[in-house]
Amino acid sequence: MSDKTEVNLTGVKQSKGVWLVKVPKYLSQQWDKATEKGEVGKITIGKKQGKTEVRFSLDEELTALGDVGEKDASLQVPRDHSFTMHTVDGQTMAVFSQSSADEISLEGMVVHRAECRPVVSDNYMKLKKLQIKASTKPQRLSQQLERAVTTVFKPVANHDFNVEHEKKKKSEGKMVRAERQVVLDMLFSAFEKHQYYNIKDLVDITKQPVTYLKEIMREIGTYNSKGAHQSTWELKPEYRHYQSAEEEEMQTD
């Protein structure tokens, strides 16, 4: 559980009022391209015939869709937007910020909600058309091929992987039965690490033939045919002692 962070309430105490503005995606994308200074445009708040009007105009440089610096005439983000203001009666909204150091501070209360809407222009319509086209494109596409693909699979007498495997087997040869004691030591040290083992894994670890190994296991361990650890071998209770140091406790032949 993370520690409780004391919330810095200075913002709220000062009754800082903020606006919550909903901005279209393309506009926020353009804003991301802004320079270090961060200026993206201008807001004009005026009163027109008694009504408050808020307008936003995007900076010239940021109007180009695509990389900054290019001026592609066909793809231009509209410059003029208007903010429609709403009150926040239905909800009490506050803004809190979380810094990278996990410090939380309450920045202020939302006093107005606004939506940023572009002033409709041909440019905007074109932009929207492109967007719609892009979004309606299916993500998966069926494509017809003219010729069959022949590069991937070739018929082979014996696969590479298989060949290697056989070579390995030959080089290793059959597993030799080591001394019983040696095997037991190996087993005990293995069982120190884990309680349940598959016979295959034990063969892997001890490099002993299966029958021999099974014989030994039958002596010192039990086989779980049912239950949580199915088809695994574990040491007999008298041989295991998982709390304290296993070495001393485990008996040998």
Partner 1 sequence: MTSLGGSSSSATEYTVRVPKNTSKKYNIMAFNSGDRVNCSTWTQARMERDMSARRIYGEEESAEGAAGSEFGKKHREEARRKKYGIVTREFKGEDQPWILKVNGKAGKRFRGLKKGGVTENASYYIFTQCPDGAFEAFPVHGWYNFTPQFKHRTLTAEEAEEEWGRRNKVVNHFSIMLQRRFREQERGGEDDDDENEKSGKKKKKGGGRGGDLRIHDLEEDLEMSSDDSDSSMGDDGEGKTKAKKATGKGKAKKKKRKSSDKEALEDSDDGDYEGLEVDYMSDESSSSDEELEKGKSSKGEHHPKGIDEASESEEESEEEKQNEEEAKDEEEEEEEGKKTPVQPEKKKKKDSSGESESSDDSDIEGETASALFMKKRTPPKRGGRGSAGSSRTGSRPGTPSIDSASTSNTLSAAASKLEQGKRPTLGPSTDSPAAKRLKMEPSSQSPVPSGKSTPQPPSGKSTPSSSDVQLTEEAVRRYLIRKPMTTKDLLKKFQTKRTGLSSEQTVNVLAQILKRLNPERKNVNDKMHFYLTE
Kindly identify the residues of this chain, within the stretch 35-74, that bind partner 1 according to CB under 8 A. 36-49, 53, 56
Nearest to 220 by CA among 242, 192, 250, 199: 250
**Residue 216: Cβ-neighbour burial (10 angstroms; 0-12, 13-18, 19+):** buried
The distance of closest approach from Cβ of residue 1 to partner 1 in the complex, given in angstroms and rounded to an integer, is: 5
- 96 touching partner 1, by CB under 8 A: yes
Question: In the range 128-157, which residues lie near partner 1 by CB under 8 A?
Answer: none
The helix/strand/coil state of 201 is helix
- 221 touching partner 1, by CB under 8 A: no
Please give the DSSP secondary-structure letter assigned to residue 251. Answer: -
The helix/strand/coil state of 112 is strand
Cα 167 vs. chain centroid, distance in angstroms? 41
Nearer to partner 1, 71 or 229 (CB): 229
Nearer to partner 1, 90 or 173 (CB): 90
Q: Which of 70, 74, 90, 122 binds partner 1 (CB under 8 A)?
A: 90
What would the two tokens of residue 61 be?
């440089």
Nearer to partner 1, 19 or 212 (CB): 19
Cβ within 8 Å of residue 215, ≥6 positions away:
none
Question: In the range 173-212, which residues lie near partner 1 by CB under 8 A?
Answer: 190, 192-198, 201
Nearer to partner 1, 27 or 64 (CB): 27
CB-CB contact of 218 with 224 (8 Å)? no
- In single-letter form, the type of residue at position 168 comes to K
- 108 touching partner 1, by CB under 8 A: yes
The distance of closest approach from Cβ of residue 90 to partner 1 in the complex, given in angstroms and rounded to an integer, is: 6
Q: Which of 60, 71, 93, 252 binds partner 1 (CB under 8 A)?
A: 93
**Residue 180: Cβ-neighbour burial (10 angstroms; 0-12, 13-18, 19+):** middle
Q: Which of 67, 69, 74, 92 binds partner 1 (CB under 8 A)?
A: 92
